[in-house]
Amino acid sequence: MVRLQGGKPVGLKLQVPDFAIDWNALEAAVTPRTRMIIINTPHNPSAQVLSPEDLDRLAALIRDTDIVVLSDEVYEHILFDGRKHCGMATHPELAGRSVIVSSFGKTFHVTGWRVGYCLAPAELMAELVKVHQFMMYAADTPMQVGFAHYLQHSENYLSLSAFYQQKRDRLLTLMKDSPFRLLPSAGSFFMLASYGHFSDESDSEMVKRLIVDHGVATIPLSAFYMDGTDNKLIRLSFAKDDATLQAGAAALCKVQK
């Protein structure tokens, strides 16, 4: 989409295994031609989140520029171990120059409905509306009415952290005897699994083997990189019912080293 508009996307890799932002590298990548910084927290696929210190670094970096922040925060209500969501709206300086994208589908377990929303300062929103009207006509009425009804009760979405943390912890327990090493998950409904200590297979080969031999579908992390970087990591999702989690974990525990 960036290229279609005549722009040049510049990808910066997060630091494995903690997937932190290399702020020095980001600062070095910013030029007078930089128009936007796109970020995601809680992060898919790494399941890591930004901190208040990260927000301060970002604000300082763009303070004397015209750079706009596009922030993907669709998992904003799914954070674990008492963490608080550090979105752009929580930082006064960033709130004034950010477009925040979120999703009703992720929050209310109806991803197939494909209804999302965005927040932005009035001057940015006025321009977004001009483009939006030519990209889609409208979300259908029944879904809008349904979401409006659901939003009247905050417990419907403010309890998601506990709901998904229970599933995260269940998957951790179920896979304790598997050959995979699970990386910490701070938010979202994903968890990364490392296998480089027992296999030299590429992540795409590993994913295919898990499907063919064990009936479990995962995602290779290389699919998220512009250059296909392979760190021998795969992404697991625990947004499943308990029976599915148990069956999937049991199958992964049988993977041979």
Whether 60 has a pLDDT exceeding 80, the answer reads: yes
The reply to whether 38 and 114 lie within a common domain is yes
The last residue of a domain, from among 150, 181, 196: 150
| 257 domain residue, yes or no | no
The reply to whether 24 and 54 lie within a common domain is yes
Residues 55 and 45: their CA atoms lie apart, in Å, by 20
**pLDDT number for residue 107:** 81
CATH, residue 235: 3.90.1150.10
pLDDT band per the 50, 70, 90 thresholds, residue 109? confident
In the chain, the number of structural domains is 2
**How does the average pLDDT of the chain come out, rounded?**
94
Q: Which of 116, 57, 49 is nearest to 86 (CA)?
A: 49
**pLDDT number for residue 5:** 86
The reply to whether 223 and 186 lie within a common domain is yes
Strands (E), 21-86: 36-40, 68-72
> pTM, whole model, 2 decimals?
0.92
Whether 138 has a pLDDT exceeding 80, the answer reads: no
The reply to whether 212 and 120 lie within a common domain is no
The last residue of a domain, from among 85, 119, 150: 150
Residues with Cβ within 8 Å of 108's Cβ and at least 6 positions away in sequence, in order, are: 147, 150, 156, 157
The reply to whether 63 and 169 lie within a common domain is no
188-199: b (≥16 Cβ within 10 Å) or e = bbbbbbbbeeeb
Whether 132 has a pLDDT exceeding 90, the answer reads: no
The reply to whether 40 and 136 lie within a common domain is yes
| 87 domain residue, yes or no | yes
| 156 domain residue, yes or no | no
| 99 domain residue, yes or no | yes
**pLDDT number for residue 246:** 97
**pLDDT number for residue 223:** 97
The last residue of a domain, from among 150, 181, 202: 150
Which two structure tokens, joined as six digits, stand for 222? Answer: 């290389």
**pLDDT number for residue 257:** 81
Residues 44 and 224: their CA atoms lie apart, in Å, by 9
CATH, residue 15: 3.40.640.10
**pLDDT number for residue 213:** 96
pLDDT tens, residue by residue, 12-52: 999 999 999 999 999 999 999 999 999 999 999 999 999 99
Q: Looking at residues 1-15, what average pLDDT do you find?
A: 92
Q: Looking at residues 103-127, what average pLDDT do you find?
A: 89
**pLDDT number for residue 100:** 98
Residue recorded with tokens 């950010």? 98
Domain of 170, in residue numbers: 161-252
**pLDDT number for residue 37:** 97
pLDDT tens, residue by residue, 153-205: 888 888 899 999 999 999 999 999 999 999 999 999 999 999 999 999 999 99
